[in-house]
Amino acid sequence: METIPRYRGAQRRSRNTVVGALSAIVLAAMSMSAQAGVTPDMISTDATTPSDVLTVGMGQSGQRYSSLSKINTQTVVDLVPAWTFSFGDEKQRGQETQPLIYNGKMFITGSYSRLWALDVKSGKKLWAYEHRLPDGIMPCCDVVNRGAALFDDLVIFSTLDAHLVALNQETGKVVWNEKLDDYKAGYSNTAAPLIVKNLIVTGVSGGEFGVVGRVDARDAKTGKLVWSRPTVEGHMGTLNGKDNGITGKTNASWEGDQYKSGGAATWLGCTYGADVDLIYCGTGNPSPWNAHTRPGDNLYSSSTLAIKADTGKIVWSYQSTPHDSWDFDGVNEFIPFDMKKDGKTIKAGAKADRNGFFYVLDRTNGKLLGASPFVSQQTWASGVDMKTGRPIETANRPGDPGKEDKGSSVFAAPSFLGGKNWMPMAYSQNTGLFYVPSNEWGMDIWNEPITYKKGAAFLGAGFTIKPLYEDHIGVLRAMDPATGKIVWEAKNGAPLWGGVMSTAGNLVFTGTPEGYLKAFDAKTGAELWKFQTGSGVVGQPVTWEQDGEQYVAVASGWGGAVPLWGGEVAKKVKDITQGGMLWVFKLHTSKANSVALK
């Protein structure tokens, strides 16, 4: 039977008031039985409510730490699949997503801007949304999506054609659809949106096409723009449709008009420090890659920005790679945490930068507290000056091509794919350590002349990427933020490209391109468990509790930037088969045993 449009019922009610009143009561009872929806309070306490996962990052700060411990170093050997879900059709490619769990449903995004709602107990598909993408989309680095956001009765995700789409959690019907920017100019969007209070915060992708990065905050219920903050110096911000001050000071660190195609894309989105009410957004490389064409520090590229949630104004910034020549980018997530050091608790935040340094900053003011390498080789800098916060460079920049076709080439490490790329690290409140998915590779890089053309790649550089070691590229590392020391490391043949999660069960979970989801001892790095998922794991694992049991889920499906840019690295990954599958695990409990107990 067709669903009857509401007006039809209304017409009938008007002809008979008794039944009209009756059906009104039934409708009222139905709406009361439904959940009230995801509130800003629920979002802000997500990290401490293990029965749901409301945010990508398992909390606004993105620590990816769970207090659950039924799955632990002792029991993890019994972790077995509970159910799986195939994303279907031919659109496989990279699955970098993170599941969200709420109100008996799992919401999971997939490659090519797809989104599914599943019954979290059985894995049954409840509905699917597949965004109709134009042929001309220009995502630089695979057609991935990194997860959705929940707010009220909505599930909201961004698309490769730079739209933000809000769907009803129950029906999958589109409630609103806002264009973030023009995909034809190179904008796209792959990051998970961040909910802060009643706002939904997004960045933009497109740093390889000379876009201007910015952070937008919208009313999460309606999609209406509240404020916009450009991340390149010289551009005007807005608040409620009115001018809200220029970012930085025009031409203080750029010459001429170059800031107008200055990059600094906020392609990985943002995290939030609720106690200081600051939104932290990493910014990408300045455009073009060829730094000789854009003298100056090029603020606020390759930086972390702290933005006031209510005003959209920048409170502090820290630039990790001034005048970036290597596409080190600075987009990596900044994770607020409370650092215990010398008997004191410091309001800190940490970031493992593409440039190979693990930075610890004061999250209230951006003051540098520590910077230490988390990779084995950094050719471009010997350290970071703790007074100025600037890197101590080693004259490792590629040469100016001048009027030639190609400037002098240099070997630089890390490579432009970074000591760590997009894949989020985790912090354990148990061990006080960060778990960083790092990669050991370098590159030959040289510059070429380049001019800006709308919608065209804006690089002005050539490169080849090279593994630093024969036997491994990926290394999962435990970093002590207080000392900057590496506590343990676990090597992996192929580059690591998946998110990390830590739990109170003293476990660290992450995936590998070789297809495994793995669990490590959080204190020693000993590998305790692994499961072959059938394709490379570049997704972000989560855990939650349901009916007294702890569950773990991760998406499997090889892709991302590595197979597209890989160079010599391709040898390590070229035989990995593609996929598109969600795996859910729980501890094995013997049926016979449970019968016997009764």
Catalytic residues: 327
Supply 423's token pair. 């894949």
* Out of 14, 31, 41, 132, the residue judged to bind another protein by CB under 8 A: 132
Contact by Cβ (8 Å): 53, 542: yes
* Out of 19, 77, 246, 564, the residue judged to bind another protein by CB under 8 A: 19
- Return the range that interacts with another protein (CB under 8 A); candidates 77-85, 174-182, 234-242, 280-288: 174-182
**52 annotated ligand-binding residue:** no
Contact by Cβ (8 Å): 284, 331: yes
* Out of 64, 93, 105, 131, the residue judged to bind another protein by CB under 8 A: 131
Does position 408 bind another protein by CB under 8 A? no
Does position 592 bind another protein by CB under 8 A? no
Does position 28 bind another protein by CB under 8 A? no
CA angle 251–255–257, rounded 5-degree value = 90
SS3 content of the chain, % helix, strand, coil (to 5): 10, 40, 50
Q: In the window 260-319, what residues touch another protein (CB under 8 A)?
A: none
Distance in Å, CB of 529 to another protein, minimum: 37
**103 annotated ligand-binding residue:** no
Does position 124 bind another protein by CB under 8 A? no
- Return the range that interacts with another protein (CB under 8 A); candidates 94-102, 130-138, 244-252, 501-509: 130-138
**Integer Cα distance of 261 and 258 in angstroms:** 6
Burial 480-503 (b: 16+ CB within 10 A, else e): bbbebebbbbbebebbbbbbbbbb
Distance in Å, CB of 219 to another protein, minimum: 15
Q: In the window 435-454, what residues touch another protein (CB under 8 A)?
A: none
The answer to whether the peptide bond before residue 414 is cis (omega within 30 degrees of 0) is yes
Distance in Å, CB of 557 to another protein, minimum: 17
Does position 177 bind another protein by CB under 8 A? yes
Does position 596 bind another protein by CB under 8 A? no
Residue 345, burial from CB neighbour count under 10 angstroms (0-12, 13-18, 19+): exposed
Question: What DSSP character marks residue 372?
Answer: E
Distance in Å, CB of 11 to another protein, minimum: 7
Measured from the CB atom, the residue of 176 and 411 that comes closer to another protein is: 176
**130 annotated ligand-binding residue:** no
Burial 454-478 (b: 16+ CB within 10 A, else e): ebebbbbbbbbbbbbeeebbbbbbb
How many residues appear in the chain? Answer: 598
Distance in Å, CB of 142 to another protein, minimum: 17
- Return the range that interacts with another protein (CB under 8 A); candidates 126-134, 201-209, 373-381, 510-518: 126-134
**Integer Cα distance of 223 and 220 in angstroms:** 5
How many Cα atoms occupy the beta-carbon half-sphere of 293 within 13 Å? 24
Does position 8 bind another protein by CB under 8 A? yes
**What is the three-class DSSP state of 521?**
strand
CB atoms near residue 347 (< 10 Å)? 16
Measured from the CB atom, the residue of 2 and 470 that comes closer to another protein is: 2
- Return the range that interacts with another protein (CB under 8 A); candidates 17-25, 212-220, 370-378, 518-526: 17-25
Best CA proximity match to 297, nearest among 319, 323, 316: 323
Question: What DSSP character marks residue 261?
Answer: G
Supply 388's token pair. 């100025």
**Integer Cα distance of 116 and 107 in angstroms:** 6
Measured from the CB atom, the residue of 136 and 343 that comes closer to another protein is: 136
- Return the range that interacts with another protein (CB under 8 A); candidates 15-23, 237-245, 345-353, 420-428: 15-23
Distance in Å, CB of 534 to another protein, minimum: 22
**Integer Cα distance of 35 and 61 in angstroms:** 25
Q: In the window 186-225, what residues touch another protein (CB under 8 A)?
A: none
Does position 16 bind another protein by CB under 8 A? yes
Distance in Å, CB of 126 to another protein, minimum: 17
Helical H runs in 115-238? Answer: none
**Phi-psi label, residue 498: left if phi above 0, alpha if psi -120 to 50, beta otherwise:** beta
**285 annotated ligand-binding residue:** yes
**421 annotated ligand-binding residue:** yes
Question: What DSSP character marks residue 596?
Answer: H
Distance in Å, CB of 42 to another protein, minimum: 25
Does position 6 bind another protein by CB under 8 A? no
Best CA proximity match to 458, nearest among 303, 318, 284: 284
Contact by Cβ (8 Å): 139, 131: no
Does position 173 bind another protein by CB under 8 A? yes
Distance in Å, CB of 425 to another protein, minimum: 34
Best CA proximity match to 509, nearest among 51, 66, 194: 66
Q: Which residue has the tokens 């973030």?
A: 180
Does position 135 bind another protein by CB under 8 A? yes
Q: In the window 83-122, what residues touch another protein (CB under 8 A)?
A: 89-91
Measured from the CB atom, the residue of 8 and 454 that comes closer to another protein is: 8
**What is the three-class DSSP state of 30?**
helix
Does position 404 bind another protein by CB under 8 A? no
How far the first Cα of the chain sits from its last, in Å, is: 45
Does position 165 bind another protein by CB under 8 A? yes
Does position 27 bind another protein by CB under 8 A? yes
Applying CB under 8 A, what is the total number of residues that bind another protein? Answer: 34
* Out of 30, 32, 595, 597, the residue judged to bind another protein by CB under 8 A: 30
**146 annotated ligand-binding residue:** yes
Does position 526 bind another protein by CB under 8 A? no
Measured from the CB atom, the residue of 80 and 174 that comes closer to another protein is: 174
**96 annotated ligand-binding residue:** yes
**Integer Cα distance of 499 and 488 in angstroms:** 18
> Which chain residues interact with another protein by CB under 8 A?
1-2, 4-5, 7-9, 11-13, 15-16, 19, 22-23, 26-27, 30, 89-91, 130-132, 134-136, 165-166, 173-177
Annotated binding-site residues for Ca(2+) read 208, 285, 327
